[in-house]
Structure 1
């Protein structure tokens, strides 16, 4: 019994270590948000410093071998996708970036796209470090339209119906038999893909509370004082995680197909 407990703790340590390495970029972003909130930096505005920090971190990760060129391409794609969503949401009044900044586009600081890119960074890093394998993954013709529909719902629900719950149900149906295999210290484990979506989405919601506390952005109900992000936002982050995972998974599958 004692040896089993020691083994479990050892595996948990290795799993935590790999997760920590996978979270390097998100951690740097959160640390930068905290530091720049309480310690004013000279010459440039806070938003501009955050952009410089994110760009410098990406350069260092690539140079240090912590990130591959292919992973950088994925992160750049997510930055553009996230920035487009940010511009639209700010225009619709969903949230705001009230501080000044030189590098802002239509009221949105350019660093904001890196918050979406950090999700992609985590997924790519965890995928490589934990040797993730997809099991019973649905075909391309199903996954791609689903990912597009989830992303577009972030836009069209402002003008038409919000179908996030129907999309969530569709995800449950399509991925009910799907799972991921991953390795920790050479031992293979198995997890239903839907469960992984829920877990990642929940932790991103926790991260969102930290980010808004440090002034990364501001919801209308946080104008005068910070308050907990509404639990309903978990569904939004869950869908964001799903579409992020689907994009990364399909890009990984394309890359593996090219190698064959």
Structure 2
């Protein structure tokens, strides 16, 4: 009975952590079959997602620091989207007032939803990392991964070499997480692959509802290439590095504040 209860609690926290991604895909699905009056579809999606973020923050489901991380990821994702659309990797064919260089502003939220999930699940499962390689190694690797998304259009794609580096840099890093009173752990690289796979599944749902289109999906929808899993695997690493650094800074700030209070 206890394993079932543990699994139910784990599933509950996973589901609650996915509220923003679910809101995104629900909005994409609904807006693909129901026409919103007075608004282009892309503009309506942006307004709805902004409202969802506001409600999550006001209700306490999201903290101010988590909102900041989501904002950072929205910017990172939007910059990447603008570049990828310019290079012809995919397109947003529908009209909209809130499009920047051919990219609807809501698109950044699809990247931010990954950060939202990471922040939520980190807090809900009281996660910690052991064997963290440090900001220098993790930051340089994260920067190289992000840069490769841009440079592989001009020089050879380095994703597989970067994947090997990920395994090397994070081979001693484990996630510690808690479900009720029980503590569990798993290798961080395994978590990268698991989350990357589920984002790939979500990407198939998003393209099915015309959130964007790859060149081979213009005439009819087809399954997104399995090779995209490696892209999401690498993107998840960037999100973990940013979120982990945020949590590390917050933990140090909490310790310092408590020490100062004690000395006072």
Q: Would you call these one fold, judging by a TM-score over 0.5?
A: yes
* CA distance in structure 1 between the partners assigned to 2:247 and 2:152 by the alignment: 30
Partner SS, residue 106 of structure 2:
helix
Q: With structure 1 as the length reference, what TM-score do the two structures score?
A: 0.97
* CA distance in structure 1 between the partners assigned to 2:181 and 2:95 by the alignment: 49
Partner SS, residue 129 of structure 2:
strand
Correspondence 1:85-104 to 2 at 5 A:
85-104=80-99
Partner SS, residue 45 of structure 2:
helix
Match of 1:110 among 102, 105, 108: 105
Specify the alignment match of 1:56 in structure 2: 51
Specify the alignment match of 2:242 in structure 1: 247
Match of 2:11 among 7, 11, 16: 16
Q: With structure 2 as the length reference, what TM-score do the two structures score?
A: 0.96
* CA distance in structure 1 between the partners assigned to 2:62 and 2:168 by the alignment: 34
Aligned-residue offset at 1:141: 1.2
* CA distance in structure 2 between the partners assigned to 1:64 and 1:177 by the alignment: 38
* CA distance in structure 1 between the partners assigned to 2:136 and 2:81 by the alignment: 28
* CA distance in structure 1 between the partners assigned to 2:239 and 2:123 by the alignment: 16
* CA distance in structure 1 between the partners assigned to 2:71 and 2:106 by the alignment: 12
The root-mean-square deviation of aligned C-alpha atoms, in Å, is: 0.6
1:238 aligns with 2:233: yes
Specify the alignment match of 1:126 in structure 2: 121
* CA distance in structure 2 between the partners assigned to 1:125 and 1:186 by the alignment: 19
1:45 aligns with 2:78: no
* CA distance in structure 1 between the partners assigned to 2:181 and 2:146 by the alignment: 36
Aligned-residue offset at 1:211: 0.4
- The number of residue pairs the alignment matches comes to 255
Aligned-residue offset at 1:256: 1.5
Runs of 4+ in 1 over 6 A off after TM superposition: none
* CA distance in structure 2 between the partners assigned to 1:186 and 1:69 by the alignment: 27
Specify the alignment match of 2:224 in structure 1: 229
Match of 1:157 among 128, 152, 155: 152
Aligned-residue offset at 1:252: 1.4
Aligned-residue offset at 1:259: 2.0
1:148 aligns with 2:148: no
**Deviation readout 1:83-102 (Å, 9 max, x if unpaired):** 00000000000000000000
Specify the alignment match of 1:198 in structure 2: 193
